[in-house]
Chains A and B, each alone.
Chain A
Amino acid sequence: MTPRWRLLLLALALAALLPAVLRVALAMPEFGAPTAVLGQSVNALVPELRHVANMVAAVNFDLRGFDTLGEECMLLCAVTGATVLLRGARGERGDVRAGHLPGRPVIPRADATVLVCRVAATLTLLFGISVALHGMTTPGGGFQGGVIAASGLLLLYLGEGYAGWRTLVPSPVLAAMEGSGAVLFVLCAGLPLIAGHPALTNGLPLGEWKDLYSGGLMIAVNAAVALSVTGSFGLLLVEFLEETREPADAPASNEADHEDGTMRART
C-alpha cells in the first residue's frame, strides 16, 4: 500500500467508527459523577478493615495486590527484555571508556558540579525512601519511591563521570535487587498458603490509622515493590547509558555471529 491508500483506508475506517464512538460517548456515565459502587465501598469499608489512610495503596497492595504482582513482574520482564536487546547487540565488556564526539574538548568536571551532584543524589535517595515509606498514609508508595530513588543514580553519572558511575553502580547488584524484591512479593503472597490461608492474606498486626506502621502485610509488599522498582529502573539507566560509551574497535556483531550462529548485526 502506498501511504496515500493507507491514509484513505484509515480515514474510511475512522469515518465508519465515528458515529459509534459518539453514540457510546453520549451513553457513558456523566463526567464527574462518581457512581462506581466498588470505589465507594472501598472508601467506606477499608479504613476500618485495614487501618490505612491511602485507599490507592490499599487497593494496590491488599485488595488487588495480585494485580500488582503481575504489574511488578511486567516491569521486571520489560527491563529484562530491554537488557537482552541492548546488551545482546552491544556485547558485554568491562574495559571500555565513555564515548565522546571527536573535535569536542573534554572539559574536566568542576568541583562545584561534583559537590552539588553528591548532595543532590543523597537527598534524592532519601526523598525516594521517604515517599516509599509513607505509602500507607499519603500519596506515594513503592512504585513512586523506587523510581525517585533510582533516578538519583543519574546524578551520580553526572557528578562522577563514566568510570566512577560504573564502579558505584554494578549491574549484577541492581539485578539482584530487582529480582529479590519480586521474590519477596511472591513470598508475601505464597507464605500464607503454608499456614492454610488464602494467598496474600494480611496476617500481620494492622497498626494504627495514619501511622507510619499501618496496613500490616501491605508494608512488606510496599517494601518489596520499592526494592524491585529501584533495581529495575537502575538497571534500565545502566543499559541506556551504556549505549553512550565508546564502541569497541572490532564490532561485537561479528564475534557473536561466529559464536552462536545468529545474525547480530546492528542496523
Chain B
Amino acid sequence: MSLAETLLPVAVLLPLGVATLLLALAHWLPPRLPKLVAILVALAVCAFCVLLARASLDGPVRHWFGGWTPDAAGRPGVVLGIGFQADPASAALAAFCGLLFAAAFVFAWGYFDTEHAHFHVLMLLFLAAMTGFCLTRDLFNLFVWFELMSVAAFALTAYPLGRSALEGAFNFTITNALASFLLLAGTGLLYARTGTFDFATMGAALARTGADPVLIAGFVLVAAALLTKAAILPFHLWLADAHAVAPSPVSVIFSGAMVSLALFGLAKLVAQVFPGNAEVMGLVHGLLHGLGLATALVAGLTAFAQRHLKRLLAFSTIAHMGIMLTALADGSGTATAGLLLYILGHGLTKGALFMAAGILLALRRSADEIVLYGRGRGLWAPALATGLGGLLLGGLPLGLMHGATGLMDLSAGVLDRVVVALASALTGAAVLRAAARIFLRASGVPGPELLAPTEREHEKPDRPLWLMALPALTLVALALVPPAAVRPFLGAAAARLRDPSLPPLALPEAGSLDLAPLLLTAVLFAFALLRRRAVRPLSRAVTRSERTGFRALQALHSGLVGDYVAWMAVGLALFALAAAVSAG
C-alpha cells in the first residue's frame, strides 16, 4: 500500500481514537491537555487530508477495509466490504473540516472549563463523522457518519442547557432524526433493487435498470434526508433555532461545514450513482433547482428581517445553501466547480462571522444589534471580521465566494442570476447593517427586524480577545485568497467528482467583473440605515404592509416542532408530485 492509501482511514481513525481515549482517561487528565490535543488532532486531520488531496490528483486513492475489495467475492457486482475513496474534492473538503475545527478549538479555548473533557470528546467524534462522510464510497457507511454527525450535533446544541438551547436542540433532534429514518429507508430501497451499497457498483446497476419507481423513491428519500441536513425549503425550519442557540464555536462548525457537507454528499451521489437514471436527473434539474431558488429568496428576506446576529447569520446560511443547490441542480462542470469553491468560501466567511458574534456574546453579553447599538466601538477585530464578512457575502468582487459565483454564472439563466444576486445582497446588507449599528453607532429607524425574536444570553466572558479574534481574522483572510490560486486544483476536483478517470476541467479565467450584487447590497444597506420614521399616510401604509409580510415569514418559523414535521411531509409530497408529473 502507498502512503496515501494507508493515511486514508487514519483521517477517521485518529479523531475517533483520540476522542475515545480522552473519554476513557478524562477523570485523571489535567484539564488543559484535552484542549491542546484536540487542536493538534484537528490540524493533523487537515494535514493528512491535504496530502490525500494531492495524491488523488494522480488518480483516486482507495482503501478497502479488511481487504474486502470488490474482487474478494469473486462474483461481479457483489461488494462484500466497505470502501473509502479520496478524490480531490472529497479530500479537500475533509481537510477544510479539519481546518475549521482547529480554528473553532482555538476560539473555544477557555470557553468550556467543565470537567471530563466532554465538549472535546463530542467535537472530535463530530470531526471524525465529517471526514468519514466525505471519504466514504458506501451508502450505508455514509448513513452511519450522517447519524454520528447528528448525534454529536444534538448534544453540542444543547450544551448551554438554557431553555432556548434545549428547545433548539429538541427541534433539531426531531427533524434530523426523521431525516435519518428517511436516509435509512432510501438506502434500503436502493439496496433492494441494486443489491449493493458501493457507489460505483450501484451506479452501474442503476444504469442497467432503467425506469423504476423503487429507485426513484430511494433517491427521493435519500435526497430529502440530505436536504433536511442542508436546510433547504421546506425542510429548513430547524436550522435557525439550532444555529442561533448552539455555543458559538459549535455554530461555526454547523454553518461553516455541516450543512454544506450534506449538500456535497448529495452532489456526490447525483454525480456518481444516479447519472444513468433519467427520471432522477429530471427531478434534480427541475424540482431541486426550484427549491434552491425559493430557499435563497425566502431565507434571504428572513435574514434581512432579523436582529439577533446569530439568528441572522443562520438565515443567511440557509439562503446561501439555496444558492449552492441551484449550482448542484445545474450539474455542469463549471457549476460543480463553482459549488465546491462556494462551499469553501462560504464556510470560511460564515465561520468568521459566527466567531465575531461569539466575541460580542462574550464581551458585550448580547448578540442583538439593537441592544448592542454603539456598544461595539473599540472592538476593531470583530468589527473588521463582521464588515469584511458582510461584504464578502454581499458580493465583494474579491476572494473565493466571488470566484465561485463567477463560475456558477457561466451556465446559469437570467432568473438564477437575479435570484442569486438578490439573496446575496439581502444577506450581505443585513450583516453590514448589524455591523454598522453595533460598531459604528449608525442607525436609521429599525424596520421589520424590530419584530424578530431575540434572546437574552451571553457566553463565558473572561477569555482574551486576541485568542478569539485570531481564528476569526485568519478565516476571513483565507476567504480573501484570490480564486486563481486554486483554479487548476478545482478543475481536477470538479471533473473527478463525477468520474475519477476524467481529465481535469479547463476552467475559464475570471470573467467580467460582476458588480451588480455589491451595488444591490449597497442600496439595501443604505435603505436600512437611512430609513426614517414613517409619518406620511403613504409611507405608513407601506410600512404596515411590509410588517404584515414579514410577520407571515416569522410565523412560518414558529419554533413548534409539529409545524416543522408537517412542512417536511409537504416537502416529500412535492417530490412525489414532481415525480408523478415527470412520469407522465
Contacts and interface: CB of A to CB of B under 8 A. Distances in A.
Q: Do A and B bind each other?
A: yes
Interface of A: 1, 3, 6, 9-10, 12-14, 16-17, 19-20, 23-24, 27-29, 36-38, 41-42, 45, 62-67, 69-71, 73-74, 76-78, 80-85, 88-89, 92, 172, 175-180, 182-183, 186-187, 189-190, 193, 196-202, 260-265, 267
Interface in B43-99: 63-68, 73-75, 77-82
Interface in B558-576: 558, 560, 562-563, 565-567, 569-570, 572-573, 576
A19 B583 CA distance: 13
Contact of A80 (B67, B121, B562): B121
A76 B26 CA distance: 14
Nearest to B157: A81
Contact of A71 (B21, B128, B144): B144
A264 B165 CA distance: 10
Interface string B116-135: 10100110010011001000
Interface stretch (B148-156, B487-495, B519-527): B148-156
A80 B118 contact: yes
Contacts of B214: 24, 27-28
A37 B75 contact: yes
B441 to A, nearest CB: 26
Contacts of B414: none
B66 A62 contact: yes
A176 B24 contact: yes
A262 B67 CA distance: 49
A63 B23 contact: no
B195 A13 contact: no
A16 B220 CA distance: 14
10 contacts: A17-B573, A24-B189, A38-B196, A77-B125, A77-B155, A175-B23, A175-B26, A196-B1, A198-B9, A198-B66
B166 interface: yes
Contact of B141 (A67, A81, A189, A200): A67
Nearest to A18: B576
Interface centre among B1, B10, B122, B213 (most CB of A within 10 A): B213
Contact of B155 (A64, A66, A85): A85
A76 B118 CA distance: 11
A72 to B, nearest CB: 9
A112 to B, nearest CB: 37
Nearest to B125: A77
Interface residues of B, number: 92
A199 B24 CA distance: 23
Contacts of B114: 88, 260
Given A10-B566, A88-B161, A179-B22, A74 B151 contact: yes
Interface centre among A187, A190, A200, A265 (most CB of B within 10 A): A200
Interface stretch (B277-285, B458-466, B470-478, B508-516): B458-466
Contact of A67 (B19, B82, B115, B129): B82
Nearest to B82: A66
Nearest to A253: B161
B213 A262 contact: no
B6 interface: yes
A1 to B, nearest CB: 5
A24 B114 CA distance: 50
Given A9-B570, A73-B125, A81 B152 contact: yes
B569 A41 contact: no
Nearest to B81: A63
Contact of B67 (A16, A76, A78, A198): A198
B66 A183 contact: no
A70 B73 contact: no
Contact of A70 (B1, B144, B196, B461): B144
Contacts of A38: 78-80, 191, 195-196
Given A10-B569, A65-B65, A189 B20 contact: no
Contacts of A3: 562
Interface in B1-57: 1, 6, 9-10, 13, 16-17, 19-28
B196 A1 contact: no
B24 A198 contact: no
Interface centre among A23, A70, A76, A187 (most CB of B within 10 A): A70
B67 A197 contact: yes
Contacts of A172: 26-28
Nearest to A10: B566
A142 to B, nearest CB: 15
A160 B150 CA distance: 38
B212 interface: yes
B20 A20 contact: no
Contacts of B192: 28-29, 36
Contact of B573 (A13, A42, A267): A13
Interface centre among A178, A189, A261 (most CB of B within 10 A): A261
A161 B577 CA distance: 59
B1 A198 contact: yes
A20 B580 contact: yes
Given A9-B570, A80-B155, A267-B163, A1 B558 contact: yes
A121 to B, nearest CB: 25
Nearest to B67: A198
Given A13-B566, A81-B122, A193 B9 contact: yes
Contact of B65 (A29, A41, A198): A198
B566 A9 contact: yes
Contacts of A200: 65-66
B145 interface: yes
Interface in B537-568: 555, 558, 560, 562-563, 565-567
Given A187-B17, A261-B460, 18 more contacts: A6-B563, A9-B566, A13-B569, A27-B212, A37-B78, A38-B79, A41-B75, A45-B74, A45-B80, A66-B82, A73-B20, A77-B125, A77-B148, A175-B26, A179-B25, A197-B67, A199-B63, A264-B161
Interface centre among A1, A6, A14, A73 (most CB of B within 10 A): A73
B482 interface: no
B159 interface: yes
Contacts of B64: 198
B151 A78 contact: yes
Interface centre among A23, A28, A76, A80 (most CB of B within 10 A): A80
B145 A70 contact: yes
B160 interface: yes
A93 to B, nearest CB: 13
